[in-house]
Amino acid sequence: MTRAPLAAAVAALAAASLAAPTSAAGQFWRQKDAGPGGPPSDVVPDALKDVGIEERLGEQVPLDAELVDWTGKKVKLGDLLGHGRPVILSLVYYDCPMLCGLIMSGEARAIREMGLTLGKDYDAVTISFDPAERPALAGERRRGYLQSIGLSDLTATGWSFLVGPEASTRRIADAVGFSYRKDPRSNQWAHLAAIFVLTPDGKVSRYLYGIEFPPKELRLSLVEAAGGRVGTTFDRFILTCYRYDPASRRYEPYALGIVRAGGALVLVALTALIGGLVWRERKARGPA
């Protein structure tokens, strides 16, 4: 297990109305020295204590966790998975003054631009971790984000917005290594900015950090989580040449994959060339 670096530290404190600089890998906060006699070099603000993301790739999310959807219907998390499609999971709270809206807007933009079909190639599940929030607010947020990706039919399936008791949302958050807490001074929730990609059977496949999610990165994450069962042949070819780099948190060119792909192309070209030469020779000879 590795401690994930902050992709956007300002996002971590937006919910608590604080400001933070980008941290080094493996750290969530660093405050510069104020000079002799100043504060210590490493100080964690109260709002960020017990807040972070610990990557748990391959961890199973609790399929029996009980939630309530935007219509007020009780569901289990497993009811929204297991359809043979990968899932984008986002953990937010709907009444967030800034950060969660930025995360959700970034997710909606990536969904709109990445070229896969919601509800056919993949599903999306958004869960509020604030136990005080109700289905009506979930429905209001769902309506807005579906419209933002060009879906006017609000009965369309594919993107579920849910609320639930703290016991359920904590179990789900713990499974993906997402830690959050309420700041008593601001009465807001402090948390980091990330979304999670799950396999069709509900195992953690990929973490995407920040408030902007490049459509190519999200698309490749979904293709990878589905084992190549979604997307195009070209997407699967790209995954042969690219591998996810935990250090950069991006898909980077994979040298061995590029060599293999290049070798395959050369083999195809040689086969075509030899076939063409044989065909021309037989044609020149005429009928036997």
Please state, in angstroms and rounded to a whole number, the distance separating the CA atoms of residues 246 and 175: 19
Please state, in angstroms and rounded to a whole number, the distance separating the CA atoms of residues 103 and 189: 14
Examine residue 254 and state whether it is found in any structural domain, yes or no. Answer: no
Examine residue 69 and state whether it is found in any structural domain, yes or no. Answer: yes
- Count: domains in the chain: 1
Q: Which is nearest to 96 in space by CA: 133, 66, 70? A: 133
Examine residue 5 and state whether it is found in any structural domain, yes or no. Answer: no
Structural domain containing residue 189: 49-227
What number of CA atoms fall less than 13 Å from residue 212's CA on the CB side? 2
Contact predicate 28/44, CB 8 Å: yes
Torsion over CA: 152, 157, 158, 162 (sign) = positive
Please state, in angstroms and rounded to a whole number, the distance separating the CA atoms of residues 248 and 239: 17
Angle at 204 between CA 211 and CA 218, to 5 degrees: 40
Examine residue 215 and state whether it is found in any structural domain, yes or no. Answer: yes
CATH label of the domain that carries residue 153 = 3.40.30.10
pLDDT of residue 249: 57
Name residues of the chain where pLDDT drops below 50: 1-36, 38, 255-259, 261, 264
Please state, in angstroms and rounded to a whole number, the distance separating the CA atoms of residues 232 and 214: 18
Task: Give me 215's structure tokens.
Answer: 């459509």
Examine residue 192 and state whether it is found in any structural domain, yes or no. Answer: yes
pLDDT tens digits for 84-120? 999 999 999 999 999 999 999 999 999 999 999 999 9
Examine residue 260 and state whether it is found in any structural domain, yes or no. Answer: no
pLDDT of residue 20: 36
Examine residue 235 and state whether it is found in any structural domain, yes or no. Answer: no
Rg of the chain over all Cα atoms, to the nearest angstrom: 23
Burial call 86-110: b when 16+ CB within 10 Å, e when fewer: bbbbbbbbbebeebbbbbbebbbbb
Q: Give the burial class of 50: count Cβ atoms within 10 A of its Cβ; 0-12 exposed, 13-18 middle, 19 or more buried.
A: exposed
pLDDT of residue 82: 81
Examine residue 219 and state whether it is found in any structural domain, yes or no. Answer: yes
